[in-house]
Every structure is written in C-alpha cells, then in structure tokens.
Chains A and B, each alone.
Chain A
Amino acid sequence: KAGVTQTPRYLIKTRGQQVTLSCSPISGHRSVSWYQQTPGQGLQFLFEYFSETQRNKGNFPGRFSGRQFSNSRSEMNVSTLELGDSALYLCASSPLTNSGNEQFFGPGTRLTVL
C-alpha cells in the first residue's frame, strides 16, 4: 500500500502571500490530520478531517484553514503568510478502526516564508 503523500515537498513564499498544501492519505483511511512542526514548539496540531468534516481544531488563527474531499484527499491553506509560519507541515492519516487509531505521517512540506 502506498504511504501518505504530500505535495509540494518544498515551498518558498514571501510575507503576505497565501499557500495551499496537499495531502493524499493511505488508501482506505478516512481521517486526515495536519500538524505544524517547528524546532521551538515541536509538533502542534492544526486540524483533523473525517468524512469531509472538520472534527477537531487546534489553537491556530483563522488564517489556517483546511478541507477534505470525497476521496479523503485533504488540503490546507494559509493566507497572509507571516515569517513565523515557516515550518514543516505534516499530514497524517488514520484508518480509525476498532483495532486502533494509529496515525501515519507523510514526509511533510517544508514551507519557508521570506
């Protein structure tokens, strides 16, 4: 089975721009979660989508948004980029079965804001 894929892998933007990141979950996984990883703050939860509905949301400003499509693929968008948004953005998918709730991560998108 193919793993979680994220595109693009690297991105450079300038302040004020917006960006859209894409995530394709493992086939059959219906839950997709997004995380921001920085050296200072570690892994911070952004949001989780399940069956096209946002199920959980972390403590990030409204500039961070996401959505999930009917094929479980997900996108996240960051508008009006700030320097502090530079980070590795990770997507994780989960099967959400009775036997477990493990999350499997993609390789991430490294976003640099100049």
Chain B
Amino acid sequence: GQQLNQSPQSMFIQEGEDVSMNCTSSSIFNTWLWYKQDPGEGPVLLIALYKAGELTSNGRLTAQFGITRKDSFLNISASIPSDVGIYFCAGQTGNTPLVFGKGTRLSVIA
C-alpha cells in the first residue's frame, strides 16, 4: 500500500544536539501526525497538525505541516537520553486510514 518517505532512517546524535526529521508524500494529506515508539510498546502520539503551514510545539518538540500539504517536519531541541526511540510520521485525508512512514530510529549518545 501507499507509504510515506521518511528520512533519515536512523540518526546517532550527542546529548544536547538538535534533531530534524521529515516525511514527504506524493499525495496531499489533511492531517499529519507524529508518533514515538519505545521498544515493546505501542506508538505514542506527540503532535497533531491539521492546517497547511501550521507550526505546533510540544515541549522540546516542534512539528510543521508543509504548505504543499505533501510534507511535514519534526524537530527536537536539546536532545536527552529519553528521546531514544523510533519516530513515525503519519498522514491522513478525510476518513481514510492513516498512512505511516517507516520510521526514524534515534539514538542519543550521552
């Protein structure tokens, strides 16, 4: 089925560094969601975006809904060890199912 292109696939960063990841699609979405998944657990919703150009923050996390509605970005500032995990983007239009990216695996070196 349809999938989003999420990059990078993995990142190794030093504690305190900022992180950026993004998702792109060939299709337009009306909703972009960002999730974090820890090992052995289900994804946890971080940020939801509903309007093109929207910029939303949740603590050290900031996400943007691209103005073309075909992309979204997630930034994490001043990373800490508990930021380790897999980050997923998901796009949706209307009542169609969520389409997920393959995830960005983040590792933080203390």
Contact = CB atoms under 8 A, between A and B. Distances in A.
Q: Do A and B come from one complex?
A: yes
Interface string B66-110: 000000000000000000000010101001111111110000000
B45 A58 contact: no
B95 to A, nearest CB: 7
Interface string B13-50: 00000000000000000010101000011111100101
B59 interface: no
A107 B3 CA distance: 23
Interface residues of A, number: 24
B42 A107 contact: yes
Nearest to B88: A43
B103 A101 contact: no
B50 A103 contact: no
Interface of B: 1, 3, 31, 33, 35, 40-45, 48, 50, 88, 90, 92, 95-103
